[in-house]
Amino acid sequence: MLSERMTKALNEQMNKEMYSAYLYMDMSAHCTYSGLGGFANWFMVQYQEEMSHAMKIYDYINEQGGKVVLNSIEKPPGNFGTPLEMFEATLKHEQFITESIHGLVELAYEEKDYATQIFLQWFVTEQIEEEANDNELIAKLRLVGDEGNGLFMIDKELESRTFNPPKK
């Protein structure tokens, strides 16, 4: 059973995950428009991942007998700049999400909510991966700079990313 405070916090986190999905969907559109199909694919897979994160929380609130509350989703900023700037913005956003997840874990400890503590472990691990992926791409993009060939090669590499739905 979830406390009122925990239900509210989980609903807020679900909204943040929906915003992440919306943000990456917009970034994907920006990359398609800029002729960067591989980057567009990467961000579209990221969109799918974020939707699955939101749904994981949605299912958990329901399973625990809580009330899912949907709120409006903020508009993404829209002007994304170069691929390097996009990944720097992505990392910054994921660091914000990591902090938010850690805040939820602290609340679960404070409330002695053992079920939610276990539930959140998946998200703690996932955030390590999310930030590592962004850091790796930032390093590669810094290496190639604005050089067309290098960007083209990274774009090719990102074409192969596929979405693997998380296990229940």
Taking the least distance from each CB to ligand OFO, the nearer of 70 and 143 is 70
Based on the shown chain and the rule CB under 6 A, indicate whether residue 130 belongs to the binding site for ligand OFO. yes
CA angle 47, 50, 54 (to 5 degrees): 140
Based on the shown chain and the rule CB under 6 A, indicate whether residue 50 belongs to the binding site for ligand OFO. yes
**Binds ligand OFO (CB under 6 A): choice among 10, 31, 97, 158:** 97
Based on the shown chain and the rule CB under 6 A, indicate whether residue 20 belongs to the binding site for ligand OFO. yes
- The DSSP 8-state label assigned to residue 146 in this structure reads T
| Closest distance to ligand OFO from the beta carbon of 70 (Å) | 17
Based on the shown chain and the rule CB under 6 A, indicate whether residue 17 belongs to the binding site for ligand OFO. yes
**Secondary structure of the chain in HEC code, one letter for each residue:** CCCHHHHHHHHHHHHHHHHHHHHHHHHHHHHHHCCCHHHHHHHHHHHHHHHHHHHHHHHHHHHCCCCCCCCCCCCCCCCCCCHHHHHHHHHHHHHHHHHHHHHHHHHHHHCCCHHHHHHHHHHHHHHHHHHHHHHHHHHHHHHHCCCHHHHHHHHHHHCCCCCCCCCC
Taking the least distance from each CB to ligand OFO, the nearer of 113 and 130 is 130
> Binding mask 51-90 vs ligand OFO (x if CB under 6 A, - otherwise)?
--x-------------------------------------
| Closest distance to ligand OFO from the beta carbon of 130 (Å) | 5
Based on the shown chain and the rule CB under 6 A, indicate whether residue 134 belongs to the binding site for ligand OFO. no
Based on the shown chain and the rule CB under 6 A, indicate whether residue 113 belongs to the binding site for ligand OFO. no
- The residues of the shown chain that bind ligand OFO, judged by CB under 6 A, are 17, 20, 50, 53, 94, 97, 130
